């Protein structure tokens, strides 16, 4: 694997966008909504950087089936808390084509929040297929398959404290 972002660099990026979020939402009723499962590490680190009251919830969405094969996006919202009258910050691990974030923002808007914003750890360069852009982005990365800091390949590598690009040999270790 090739390291793209070290643990220290990631933590600096999380602190940077946490400061922006604190500036924009301090004194407002905020619910942070993490997209399961990839955003768990980012969500935890981000919320610990905020020094004001907030609520946390999760929503599950996935378009991946086996390995890296994309399919229809499936969204499961029963774990979401009520967000009526709240400002919502949807937190996701990566903005690739943007279809997942676009769909989730539309679903959350149906629930009656005051506003809906988005924060992503990573935005892949040259992959966007939707008109929206995340409100908060910690890092721009090249178009490579990345793992670590919550992102996985077939359930592996989420535990890494850094972000790495998988090489073909790395993928061969975990056949589908």
**Furthest-apart CA pair in the chain: how many Å?**
49
Candidate list 45, 96, 169, 170, residue with the active-site label: 96
Give first-to-last CA distance, the chain, whole Å: 19
Structure tokens at 66: 């086996």
Is residue 166 within 8 A of residue 174, CB to CB? The reply is no
Asked if 96 is an active-site residue, the reply is yes
Is residue 116 within 8 A of residue 86, CB to CB? The reply is no
**DSSP state at residue 81:** P
Tell me which residues are annotated as active site.
96
């Amino acid at each position: 694997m090739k390291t793209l972002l070290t643990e220290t660099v990631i933590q600096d990026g999380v602190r940077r966008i946490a400061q922006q979020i604190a500036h924009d939402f301090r004194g407002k009723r905020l619910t942070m909504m993490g997209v399961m499962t990839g955003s768990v590490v980012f969500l935890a680190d981000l919320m610990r950087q905020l020094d004001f009251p907030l609520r946390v919830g999760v929503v599950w969405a996935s378009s991946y089936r086996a390995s890296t094969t994309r399919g229809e996006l499936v969204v499961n919202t029963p774990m979401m808390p009520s967000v009526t009258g709240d400002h919502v910050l949807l937190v996701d691990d990566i903005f690739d084509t943007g279809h997942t974030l676009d769909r989730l923002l539309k679903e959350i808007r149906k629930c009656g929040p005051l506003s809906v914003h988005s924060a992503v750890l990573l935005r892949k360069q040259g992959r966007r297929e939707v008109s929206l852009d995340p409100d908060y982005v910690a890092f721009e990365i090249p178009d490579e398959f990345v793992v670590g800091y919550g992102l996985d390949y077939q359930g592996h590598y989420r535990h890494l404290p850094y972000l790495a690009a998988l090489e073909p040999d790395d993928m061969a270790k975990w056949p589908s």
